[in-house]
Amino acid sequence: MSRLQDKVAIVTGASSGIGRATAKQFAREGAKVVVGARRDAELQSLVAEIRADGGDAVALAGDVRSEDYAKALVALAIARYGRLDVAFNNAGMIGEAGPSTGVSEAGFSNAVAVNLTAAFLGAKHQIAQMQTHGGGSVIFTSTFVGHTAAFPGVAAYAASKSGLIGLTQALAAEFGPEGIRVNAILPGAVDTAMYQDMNDTAESQAFITQLHALKRVATPEEMAKSVAYLASDDASFVTGTAMLVDGGVSITRT
- Using N-to-C axis directions, what is the helix angle for 105-112 and 155-175, rounded to 10°? 30
pLDDT greater than 90 at residue 3: yes
CA distance 223 to 208: 17
Catalytic residue list contains 157 = yes
The residues spanned by each domain of the chain are 8-190+219-246
In tens, the pLDDT along 82-126 reads 999 999 999 999 999 999 999 999 999 999 999 999 999 999 999
Q: Which amino acid is it at 49?
A: E
- Counting residues of the chain whose pLDDT is more than 70, the rounded percentage is 96
Number of Cβ atoms within 10 Å of the Cβ of 88: 31
pLDDT of 254 above 60: no
Mean pLDDT across the stretch 151-161?
A: 91
pLDDT score for 200: 66
Would you state the CATH architecture of domain 8-190+219-246?
Answer: 3-Layer(aba) Sandwich (3.40)
The DSSP code for 214 is: T
pLDDT of 149 > 80? The answer is no
Which member of 69, 81, 157, 195 is catalytic?
Answer: 157
Summarised one tens digit per residue, pLDDT across range 24-59 is 999 999 999 999 999 999 999 999 999 999 999 999
Look at the pTM and tell me if it is higher than 0.85: yes
